[in-house]
Structure 1
């Protein structure tokens, strides 16, 4: 590796460098569960959850959360949604993609171009598939909420190229450049019991493999 002598054992890589053994391990750092749980306990959670339930009543919601930058592929996700609605008309009027775009961490011409591209795709796809009281795509900068009292039945679709992909073994992995993938339809068509089991599996993983776990394992 990099022209250096190395050893591999139980997920660790040891590099010999300047007469020292340098340990390397790939460990995705996940979320801060304590912070998330504190947000879910806020006083205004109940009415926010009720508002979302009323807004999307009777619809299947696909949720995307990404930073607004040129590397996250938000527009490709919109094109994949367009493909699914075209290939599977039974989801028209029933499936919506809610894309939460976190504020960009930088500035530049590329950022403005991708924002313009995303807006144009949203307008075109909504115009193509909209029905009275229904728009298939919404892009927002605000955060979403969930009701912790309801059974969770989420299904993840992740890029095969991101660091957490090997850890989320129940997720559907895709090549994000392939907007004609069947992954979105497969995810929302999966049996409810399978969605719930996979959600519970992922929740257990991210609840225990946090920053503290990373530091304990590596130090």
Structure 2
């Protein structure tokens, strides 16, 4: 069995069940085959140290080596804050208005990808399968190929692919997409993402579309496929029954025994549609007054990239909107919105999900959004809550039994929330059962296995 080498911007200890995200997704694969998880340490150091081999740190965890590199402050500012989070993140989430195109950012992005390749290449063995993750590392395979790497290399993009005109707004867009052709397989979240990439490749670089998702351009053949990422459904459901989950559920049910809870769990990010969600809540209270003193929205907005200006603006906007709705509608014994700008421990979230009648997962644009799936997995199947889901989240492509909404339409979103709050038990059970069947079928184990199998198949077919 081939050894797996995972490369991502950050590295987490795969032993920790509460690590979440990518750690949960790849943990079993790394433990089965052994291998390396390589990425940034999260530390910034003097440039002379970052550019020396002293900047490499290795920790052995069972059969897995966690290998990290430090970055200089300049590289952190240009590669991470600059290109990744001020160019790629906003453009890929359809927000050209907040993107900052600075030539220094692109230089730093290339430099750090070269640094990653230089540090990773000596660690590779001939039989290794390399799996690179997300927008921080799009050119990594091209850098490895330039050094002589012939290993199978796959790439998975966790965020959306924008339509061709938006992607072409990036000054280095052709170089960026050319870099993708150094991979053997590119995995995307949705069929819509695939269409956008195919259309770009056809119109902008003249790529030839072959059968079975293959593209031919730049003297390379690339396979593209959709792999909607999932969660470990059984593990998350078990967390709901564990001590911390049960304790959170009991506390919420006791404190809100006379209320119906609505829940939003997000990072504080302009892609998540948080202001629009508060406006929908205001519309609900205005037009369905029976929800006053009865429905409470708990909105968790974990801190995110707070050293970027756009996030300061969003935080001030949320403070204002939440203060206004509570001032206009709140009573001494009830507030319509409880806004929490801090992290909540992952082990406590399942209990909070289970105590909630409605989950509001209403991003303006999202690659997938695993909160939607976690909410479903945490529910009591005999008395489940209702998922209100943005049609612009990747999860909407296959979670059809959720109540799908346009987050830009406060009126329509409020109508969906009202429907969710008043939905009969039989309909709630039927919808939840169908949604659970989907997330169990396309869980995180399916995602990892399907990607690796297609990567191996693609390498065999193209030689």
Shorter-chain TM range is 0.7 to 0.9
Corresponding residue of 1:46: 246
Q: Quote the Cα distance in structure 1 between the aligned partners of 2:443 and 2:330.
A: 41
Corresponding residue of 1:136: 336
Corresponding residue of 1:178: 409
Corresponding residue of 2:396: 165
Give the one of 188, 206, 213 matched to 2:439: 206
Corresponding residue of 1:6: 209
Q: Quote the Cα distance in structure 1 between the aligned partners of 2:234 and 2:437.
A: 14
Q: Quote the Cα distance in structure 2 between the aligned partners of 1:127 and 1:18.
A: 59
Q: Quote the Cα distance in structure 2 between the aligned partners of 1:94 and 1:87.
A: 14
Q: Quote the Cα distance in structure 2 between the aligned partners of 1:107 and 1:152.
A: 42
Corresponding residue of 1:66: 266
Q: Quote the Cα distance in structure 2 between the aligned partners of 1:34 and 1:164.
A: 19
Matched, 1:195 2:423: no
Matched, 1:101 2:332: no
Quote how far apart the aligned CAs of 1:20 are. 5.8
SS at the partner of 1:157? strand
Native 8 Å contact 2:383 2:425 kept in 1: no
Corresponding residue of 1:22: 222
Quote how far apart the aligned CAs of 1:101 are. 1.5
Indicate the structure whose relative CO is greater, using CA pairs within 8 Å and at least 6 residues apart.
1
Calculate the TM-score normalised by the size of structure 1: 0.87
Q: Quote the Cα distance in structure 2 between the aligned partners of 1:184 and 1:163.
A: 20
SS at the partner of 2:243? coil
Quote how far apart the aligned CAs of 1:82 are. 0.3
Matched, 1:113 2:313: yes
Quote how far apart the aligned CAs of 1:183 are. 1.7
Give the one of 27, 30, 33 matched to 2:233: 33
Q: Quote the Cα distance in structure 1 between the aligned partners of 2:311 and 2:317.
A: 10
Calculate the TM-score normalised by the size of structure 2: 0.43
- Compare 15-24 and 196-205 and name the one that shifted more: 15-24
Cα offsets for 1:33-60 (capped at 9, x unmatched): 3542453343333332211001111221
Change in 2 beyond 3 A, CA 1:92/1:192: same
Q: Quote the Cα distance in structure 2 between the aligned partners of 1:205 and 1:107.
A: 38
Give the one of 112, 124, 135 matched to 2:324: 124
Change in 2 beyond 3 A, CA 1:37/1:178: same
Paired residues in the alignment total 216
- Greater fraction of residues in helix: 2
The two structures, once aligned, show a CA RMSD in angstroms of 2.3
Ranges in structure 2 where 5+ consecutive residues have no aligned partner: 1-198, 356-377, 454-463
Cα offsets for 1:105-129 (capped at 9, x unmatched): 4531111111111111111101111
